[in-house]
Chains A and B, each alone.
Chain A
């Protein structure tokens, strides 16, 4: 049962990542691309957690936590740059 749910989750998150990549490529404005990158890091974090359940190891947890933190910092820096033209004033 669990293996089918894991396969479904892998499939759904992969499709979600492909859609995000399409938005990253297509996105008419810079803000769309930043939003697409923000969604990509959240989705890949979930993919990493699912891989951890699949392999039965908690090794991937630290990587997921790091991705969450650095992804947030990256999004904030890019949005700040868009807003001000400068990151640290």
Chain B
């Protein structure tokens, strides 16, 4: 795959935003997989994944503004995601409160939790 030659500093900017975004999204998904109960799991992807996708879209804006004509219509997706992620998180949190899902007593790590009261199910 041959890529178009770009000025070096622009390439560094795009690569920086891509790496930041991908790392944020990965951390959000690790949080989704690792956290102990639903309300903490809700916390991880709705914030850091949105941030990560925003950074990736900014890198796409920079790339296509340099290669092609200046355009920032990727900003549409960014704004849309930044508007809609809190709404869906709010609705899911309301649903979780309504269904009264299992949750840990305090926001601590699991070992401290199960050491405090061992008969409580995780």
- A residues touching B (Cβ–Cβ < 8 Å)? 1-6, 8-9, 11-13, 15-17, 19-20, 22-23, 28-29, 31-32, 34-36, 38-39, 42-43, 45-46, 49-50, 52-54, 56, 58, 61, 64-65, 68-69, 72, 75-76, 79-80, 82-83
For the complex, what is the distance from the CA of A28 to the CA of B8, rounded to whole Å? Answer: 48
| Complex interface: chain A residues within 8 A of B21 (CB) | 9, 46
Q: Considering only CB atoms, which chain B residue lies closest to A39 in the complex? A: B45
Given A39-B49, A52-B60, A53-B59, verify A5-B15 contact (CB < 8 Å).
yes
| Complex interface: chain B residues within 8 A of A20 (CB) | 29, 32-33, 45
For the complex, what is the distance from the CA of A53 to the CA of B62, rounded to whole Å? Answer: 10
Q: Does B110 contact A (CB under 8 A)?
A: no
| Complex interface: chain A residues within 8 A of B16 (CB) | 5
Number of A-B residue pairs, CB cutoff 8 Å, is 162
For B29, give its contact among A2, A19, A32, A72 (CB under 8 Å). Answer: A19
**Can you report 25 A-B residue pairs in the complex whose CB atoms are below 8 A from each other?**
A5-B15, A5-B19, A6-B18, A9-B22, A12-B22, A13-B22, A13-B25, A16-B29, A20-B45, A35-B41, A39-B45, A42-B45, A45-B77, A46-B22, A49-B56, A52-B60, A53-B14, A54-B1, A56-B3, A58-B64, A61-B73, A68-B80, A72-B80, A79-B92, A83-B95
What 1/0 flags go to B40-68 for Cβ under 8 Å of A?
A: 01100110011011001101100110011
Given contacts A29-B38, A50-B18, A82-B99, list 13 more A-B pairs with CB under 8 A: A5-B18, A13-B22, A31-B38, A38-B45, A39-B45, A42-B81, A46-B53, A53-B59, A56-B3, A69-B80, A72-B88, A79-B88, A80-B91
For the complex, what is the distance from the CA of A52 to the CA of B25, rounded to whole Å? Answer: 18
A13, B26: Cβ atoms closer than 8 Å: yes
Q: How many residues of B contact A (CB 8 A)?
A: 58
Q: Smallest distance from the beta carbon of A58 to chain B beta carbons, Å?
A: 6
Given A5-B15, A9-B21, A29-B101, verify A56-B4 contact (CB < 8 Å).
yes
